[in-house]
Every structure is written in C-alpha cells, then in structure tokens.
Amino acid sequence: MDKKTVALITGITVIGALEFTRIYVPECVDNKLKYRCRYVLNHFVAKLAKLGSLLGVGSEPVLLRKIIQFAAKKVDLNNYPNIIVTDRIVNGNRIRIYKSKNEINEPKSIMFYYHGGGYALNSLDNYHHILLPIASQLDIILIAIDYPLAPENRYPTPVEESFNITNYIINNPKDFDLLLDKDRIVLAGDSAGANIAIVLSNRFKSIDKNVPKLQALINPPTQYINMLLPSMIRYSSIETFLPRTKMILWHLGISNVDKYQEDYLLKNYHTILLDDENKPKLMSYLDINLIPEVYRSCHEYINYDRLKGFVYPRAIIKVNDRIDKNYENLVKNLFNENISPGLVEDEILKKQPKTYIVISEMDTRKDEGLIYAQRLINNGVECDVAYYHNGFHTSFFYAEQVGCLMRNDLINYLRNNL
C-alpha cells in the first residue's frame, strides 16, 4: 500500500471519528457510545432504504420494513417453558397468542398488544422478544395483533382492522380455545400501537362501559395537529433519521414523500385548514399549561406563548405545487378522532378506563402524552404516569437499562391492577 493510499485511509478514519464524536447526545443519556452507534446504524439503514427507492427497487417504507424484519431478534422458546405460543389468522391478519401451559379452568385477564412502528414498520416477530417475557411473568392471556401496514394499507385500515380483530376475539373466545374474563381486558401498545389502543378504547367504551378495564400506553402519539409542541422543538434532532412527519404521511398512504409535504406538516400549515369553530377548542385541548410544571422547566416551555403566531400560522409563506387540494384533503384526516384520539371531547374522556402512561423525557411525543394524561385526570379518570428522565421514544423496544425498567414497571403495574 503506497503512502497516498495510507494517507487517504487515515484521513477518512480521522474525519469519521471526529464526526462520530460530534453526534449530539443528550446529557441524560447513560451510555453515550451505544447511543452514537445506534444513531449511525439508524441513519445508515434509513439512507439505504431511501437509496433503494431512488433506484426503483421498491418504496422506501417497504424496503425499510424488510431490513428491520431481517434484523428481528430471535428468541429461544426453551427459556420460557411455562408459555404456549400460537399463531392464528383472523380476517386475513396474523395474531400471536401467548398463554400459560398450566392454565386452570377459569376465566383469565387478557391483554391485546398493538406494536409500534408509525403504522408502517415492524411486526409480531419484531416484538416477540418483548412480549414473551411479559407473558411469562403475568398470569394472563396476551394477544399481539399484526395489523396491516401503511402505506399499502392507508388510514383508516390499520385501526379498523385492529378493532375488527380485537372485537371478534372478545366475542368469540372459544374459536381460539380461550377462557377470558371480559371484565378484565387490557388494551396496550407502544408508539403507533398506543395510538391504536386509545382509539379502540374510545370506541369500545361507547359499546360496553366495562371494556376495557385498563389501557397501558407507552410513549403514545395522541394527536397529529400541533407538530410544534415544546418537546418536538427541543428533541427534533433525535429523530432526524426517520422524521415523524414522513411516517405520518406514510400512514396517510403517500409512499414517496418529498420535503415540501413534510415541511407543510412540520410548520403546522395544515392547521390553517381547521375551521374557525373547531380550531380554538382543539388548541385548548393542547394547552401546554396542562403539563405539570415539573415537566416543563426548560426554556422551550417558558417562552412558548411568544411563539403562537409561529406555532399556529395564518398563511403559507411559500406555496409549492405539491401542496394541492388532494394533499390538503388527505391531511385533513389528521383532525379525525380516529387518528388524533387525544383530542376527543371531555364527555368521551370521562368514560375512559384506568390508564397507565409511559412518558420518556427525550421524546418529541412527550408533551402530548402528558397533556392527554392530565385531561384524563381532569375528567375524573384514574391515570398513572411513569416518567423516565433518560428514556427515548423507542426505549421500551431495546434491551438497555431504561427499556428493561420500563417493561418491569409495566409488569408490576399490571400485576397489581388486574
């Protein structure tokens, strides 16, 4: 190897090392090296999927999904000898049933779990390493729902199918050899799955006041109207590899999202489409003063009132032809309570079950979760908030310390409240 080649390799290595150390890491992160490594890996995978879409290999969300699926963590069932795992098909969609081998002949609690992934990513297999240990430690039936994914199955298909599957199982347990206690049903999920759980809870409560008994929500997105809440401003740099706006548009059925479409949501231009009658009401439902003061001490909260004209713009500064009437009509779906369930009226909130909400500090969705929790409390609903100062939006999914703590806390909560 000649001197020029050695110098080039050395230079690239030094630059790479410097860029690696310059990756922003929030102060409360315990393992900064692991955070930086995950940051690099996430960006590499996202760019690989984007490159594949540009080359015509497939759409970006589908390629990203395949890469993630390939990396699904394998679990040895021999480590959980007390659990039977069965896959079934309902309405053309897969479900996975976890139940005890030593089941006695009496009705049991049942938890339906809806996985995260922005309605576009992940599957039962990606969550097997999480749900199997939970099922093993709790004396309940656990059923994971593999709902159809966007953008191929756009809103409202994932939610509607989740409801149909869940409702069918509740009303036809014998078809699945289940003996369940209808008065002890839990709806649970993380991220998009938590959004599904809230939507379904709202719907079931309008049918039967006893279903569900409890909802367990991990880092829930509760609304898609204000994309500029203080936590979204503060932690926007954390989600750069896969922006929430892109995943929202995938959910609405747009496979090839461009930056103008993303910016339209990111700058809250879609709020211009709200009618004058509903806009003040929805804005009041997202009042940051609903967030307990202990969670809003940084400057993004202190100066937020001064940003009202920025947060809720009155006009689009720069018009782009990609933002046409079809696009506007599509994003109007974001105002629907079946996609923004945290913005339902108080009369609906009053009917909600006891609620357990996991909130992570370093999560753009932190504020709306806390606002939803406080609105529940204000309407007489018992709501327990589990706050993790060093948690991320996806911490529940990983095997690091904070993720393990979240899962153990959830297990203990369910054990004590079912």
Residue 246 corresponds to which amino acid? K
Residues 9 and 121 in one domain: no
**Spatial CB neighbours of 335, under 8 Å, sequence gap ≥ 6:** 225, 273, 274, 278, 282
Q: What is the pLDDT along the chain (418 residues), one digit of tens a residue?
A: 666 555 545 655 555 565 566 677 766 667 788 888 878 888 888 888 898 998 999 999 999 999 888 877 788 777 888 999 999 999 999 999 999 988 778 899 999 999 999 999 999 999 999 999 999 999 899 999 999 999 999 999 999 999 999 999 999 999 999 999 999 999 999 999 999 999 999 999 998 888 999 999 999 999 999 999 999 999 988 877 788 999 999 999 999 999 999 999 999 999 999 998 899 999 999 999 999 999 998 889 988 988 888 899 988 877 677 788 999 999 999 999 999 999 999 999 999 999 999 999 999 999 999 999 999 999 999 999 999 999 989 889 888 889 999 999 999 999 999 8
The whole-number pLDDT of residue 242 equals: 85
How many domains are contained in the chain?
2
Residues 177 and 126 in one domain: yes
Select from 21, 52, 70 the last residue of a domain.
Answer: 70
The whole-number pLDDT of residue 16 equals: 56
The whole-number pLDDT of residue 83 equals: 94
Residues 49 and 163 in one domain: no
Select from 70, 95, 118 the last residue of a domain.
Answer: 70
pTM (global) more than 0.85: yes
Residues 8 and 130 in one domain: no
The whole-number pLDDT of residue 307 equals: 86
The whole-number pLDDT of residue 18 equals: 56
Residues 362 and 415 in one domain: yes
Residues 133 and 45 in one domain: no
Residues 189 and 293 in one domain: yes
Angstrom CA distances, 102 to 45, 84, 99, 136, stand at 42, 9, 9, 12
The whole-number pLDDT of residue 28 equals: 62
* CATH code, domain with 263: 3.40.50.1820
Residues 11 and 117 in one domain: no
Residues 158 and 36 in one domain: no
Q: Among positive and negative, which fits the CA dihedral 286, 376, 386, 117?
A: negative
The whole-number pLDDT of residue 15 equals: 52
The boundaries of the domain holding residue 189 are 78-418
H/E/C letters for each residue in the chain?
Answer: CCHHHHHHHHHHHHHHHHHHHHCCCCCCCCCHHHHHHHHHHHHHHHHHHHHHHHCCCCCHHHHHHHHHHHCCCCCCHHHCCCEEEEEEEECCEEEEEEEECCCCCCCEEEEEEECCCCCCCCCCHHHHHHHHHHHHHCCCEEEEECCCCCCCCCCCHHHHHHHHHHHHHHHCHHHHCCCEEEEEEEEEEECHHHHHHHHHHHHHHCCCCCCCCEEEEECCCCCCCCCCCHHHHHCHHHHCCCCHHHHHHHHCCCCCCCHHHHHHHHCCHHHHHCCCCCHHHHHHHCCHHHCCHHHCCCHHHHCHHHHHHHHCCCCCCCCCCCCCHHHHHHHHHHHCCCCCHHHCCHHHHCCCCEEEEEEEEECCCHHHHHHHHHHHHHCCCCEEEEEEEEEECCHHHCCCHHHHHHHHHHHHHHHHHC
Select from 70, 105, 124 the last residue of a domain.
Answer: 70
Residues 103 and 64 in one domain: no
Question: 53 catalytic, yes or no?
Answer: no
| Number of Cβ within a 10 Å radius of residue 326 | 7
Residues 27 and 96 in one domain: no
Selecting among 123, 191, 231, 340, the annotated active-site residue is 191
The whole-number pLDDT of residue 14 equals: 53
Residues 164 and 276 in one domain: yes
